[in-house]
Structure 1
């Protein structure tokens, strides 16, 4: 179907040039709120009449200015985000940073202090969204208070009250986009996938700069054109470990003939669930408390259970754990993930941000060759 290439092209255009998409929103008069981390309640931002834009790093961006403030011992993705903010790209009206990992928390304190002290006055006003993830009702109550504070901040900032109808509409819109992300799985996990891992990453990540309605509509067009999409063959990989806010690693793996049929980070498949459902602060608090587990904030057991469930639905030939330099937490989960997966597994540690590394493809090939010799894969 002719709409398929167009839908995928529109998603890729938004993903590949996120600053341009943000500039178009601002030119149209829409306030833009930058979001760092997947714990920022985008529903509240949308309900306040603003566009929530999730900020990503760029491996090619010069990080020297950010390194003066953050040092070089922090995850380079966070340092790249600060470098972008210091250069004024993108231009934001407000910045919300979630406490989803140590790097995000340090980024928040750095931005706040640089602005407060007048060292970098052009940095946007910022607020910390401190969502916790322990499986307790007391945690839910704590999160509800934090989300109420964020709601009140957005109301003061926007001059717009977030009432029941505004929140209900925003929750419905974002849940609809999440349902499409969940449905997208069937295209990449089919016996002959109709969507490569890089294309899925792009299709999901384009939502970082699109309204939820636009994102859902484009994903609908992509999935409705399933019959017109090409089918791909090759060894199937499940990519776990560090998050990928850009396509470079996916592109390098799939250029070698592999297919990434599943991932579990919050720039990919894990961004979908769970849904909010009821348009209340309580439901929002639970949604972010219980969203898909990550290495930075979940137990080893929970991550292993997640791995087993993902293997069951995606049928990979190999589990590949990619661990970015300065992001050590995923390596702690790998032994339990390998045991839970029930398929061959390899770990790629100390990877440079946005790079696969020259040794990675031989490691993957050797693991698959050994698995075939041992009858562990087809």
Structure 2
């Protein structure tokens, strides 16, 4: 692999992470339609099959002054930031936004948009639809979910003016499966850790599948680019920015696995290619879409290929007001302790004194080995 080609791939990854909406805006300016979505449980294959650009929204690093007038401060920071952007008119160029009902915060987000439009005069905002995809592993949820995905298909068709055939859906399923498989190969063979790992996972959520496949094909990391710090898995609240990842790296800790919904786990499972497309999508996103409503959560020490990466510790990070995920911590701490894996509880915000102090305590456990060169 040419070093120039690999370098170009890394530059494209960095650019997409710093400006995730640039390609979507260019697509829109050229006459295309953009369907944005939140979370990791919306079937992007349906959006792409309709000829629209699938764009997962990020809150970015902006303030929440407008959102705070309507949205409770206990809600996730990324939701408050996206809501703020909507109120400010920063997303008026999007044709449709799909909100999954995969957390209470997302459901409130959906209803607040409707409230802001009807009663606060924010009529400029794009149309928003709710995708109520259940994630229980029971037969009686399947028919309900298939009806919801059929409704989503109709919404995309209305935006693009294009009928989505089974052949088109099957083609996108095959393409996205190919990308997921290539991503898993990169993770398993090259082992990117930390910030690069997060940026690579994020790339496929904001860029076209073909562009992601190109980057994954061109990417090759030399040994000098693979960190050698203590190996840590990250669990808990989602991370759309690299803030915590960068703090980990500066502390000599490498994030080598994570179970949050912006991490590598997004690409862990394919969609069945030899089945009815809607039925296949329903099964995949019901059982394997990463969310707080997921019936069975994966163990954080397992990577995207289903292998135990044998981390030296698992760090559980929860946003300041995130109590839902925190309920699992005592049981997880005991399970991991029995397996000889250290744990740490980090409470947000990311740069708060208590979060940084807990992270420092974790880093100190490995400092002697790292400085002594004994870590493998």
The answer to whether the aligner puts 1:125 opposite 2:123 as a matched pair is no
Using the TM superposition, name which of 171-180 and 356-365 deviates more: 356-365
Scaled by the length of structure 2, the TM-score of the pair is: 0.89
Partner residue of 2:346 out of 320, 345, 348: 348
Matches for 1:4-153 after TM superposition, within 5 Å: 4-58=6-60, 60-90=61-91, 91-117=93-119, 119-153=121-155
Per the TM alignment, residue 229 of structure 1 is displaced from its structure 2 partner at its CA by 5.8
The alignment covers a number of residue pairs equal to 361
CA RMSD of aligned residues (A): 2.4
Q: Is the 8 A contact 1:345 1:367 kept in 2?
A: no
Aligned counterpart for 1:319 among listed residues 306, 314, 318: 314
Q: 2:252–2:363: 8 Å Cα contact kept in structure 1?
A: no
Is residue 267 of structure 2 the alignment partner of residue 290 of structure 1?
Answer: no
Look up the match of 1:217: 214
* Cα gap change, 1:186 to 1:15, in 2 (>3 Å): same
Deviation at 1:184, TM superposition (A): 2.8
2:323 to 313, 324, 328: 328
TM-score scaled by length of structure 1: 0.88
Match of 2:357 among 356, 359, 369: 359
8 A Cα contact 1:320 1:346, kept in partner: yes
SS in 1 for 2:16: helix
In structure 2, what is the Cα distance between the partners aligned to 1:28 and 1:123?
A: 21
**Matches of 1:118 and 1:68, distance apart in 2:** 11
* Counterpart position of 2:175: 173
Shift in CA distance, 172/26, structure 1 to aligned 2, threshold 3 Å: same
Distance of aligned partners of 1:217 and 1:229 in 2 relative to their CA distance in 1, 3 Å threshold: farther
CA contact (8 A) 2:40 2:289 kept: no
**Matched position secondary structure for 1:70:** coil
Change (3 A) 1:258 1:81: same
- Paired position in structure 2 for 1:237: 232
Unaligned 5+ residue runs, structure 1? 190-194
Seen in structure 2, the aligned counterparts of structure 1 residues 9 and 187 have a Cα distance that, compared at 3 Å, is farther
- Residues 344 and 369 of structure 1, relative CA distance in 2, 3 Å threshold: farther
Quickly say closer, same or farther: Cα 1:2–1:371, change in 2 above 3 A.
closer
**1:246: how far off?**
0.9
Provide structure 2 residue ranges, at least 5 long, that are not aligned to the other structure. none
Task: State the Cα deviation string for residues 264-317 of structure 1 (Å, max 9, x = none).
Answer: 1111111113211226100010011011554x2245xx43x6235449521211
- How far does residue 329 in structure 1 lie from its aligned partner after superposition? 1.9
Quick one: distance in 1 between partners of 2:302 and 2:163? 41
SS in 1 for 2:261: coil
Q: Is the 8 A contact 1:317 1:368 kept in 2?
A: no
In structure 2, the residue matched to 1:307 is 300
Displacement of 1:62: 1.4
**More deviation in 327-336 or 144-153?**
327-336
Q: Which secondary structure state, in structure 2, belongs to the residue aligned with residue 290 of structure 1?
A: helix
Q: Alpha-carbon deviations, 1:112-160, whole Å to 9, x = none?
A: 2322446201111010011111110111221111001111122122211
